[in-house]
Amino acid sequence: MSEIDFDGNRSYRDERFAAVEAFRTDRAKVVCGYFDPGQFIPVHAPDSDVVISVRSGAGVVREGDIEHDVASGDVVAVEAGTSRGIRAADDTRLEALLVTAPPPTDAEHGPVKRGLKRNEFEPNGDDRDDTGDTDETFQ
């Protein structure tokens, strides 16, 4: 059994949310997500299911056109292929455990990387990479 030390993995970044991979197989990926107020994972639609368990704080989970206000103890599941994103409230940190199955590919995280570089929660429909940079901004 793999133990996930959510508190021991805690990490925050000034420029964007922190995602600490806690477990991974070919079938599933578990990430501890730490968001300062207003930080987010941009809306994207990978071909994997996700379960988001909010451990503390508050924010919004986007599921298609629906925004779910979430707080500590809430759990949201989003089906593969459905647009989704996570944003911390403007006045509090958000900590969540994210389980995806199967793990998204690097290509599926392209919109996340572009959204973070552009500081955009919502996709703008422009898939080009402004910088040509291949730096991994989402892990």
CA distance 103 to 57: 25
CA distance 96 to 88: 10
Domains of the chain: 19-118 (2.60.120.10)
66-107 residue pLDDT tens: 999 999 999 999 999 999 999 999 999 999 999 999 999 888
DSSP state of 91: T
pTM of this structure = 0.85
**By C-alpha distance, which of 57, 50, 1 is closest to 34?**
57
Helix (H, G, I), strand (E, B) or coil at 133: coil
Lowest pLDDT segment from 48-52, 107-111, 121-125, 134-138: 134-138
CA distance 79 to 92: 27
Instruction: Indicate the Cα dihedral angle 30, 9, 36, 129, nearest 10°.
Output: -50
Q: Are 43 and 84 in contact (CB under 8 A)?
A: yes
- pLDDT-derived band at 2 (thresholds 50, 70, 90) equals confident
| 65, amino acid identity | D
Report percent pLDDT > 90 for the chain.
73
CA distance 70 to 56: 10
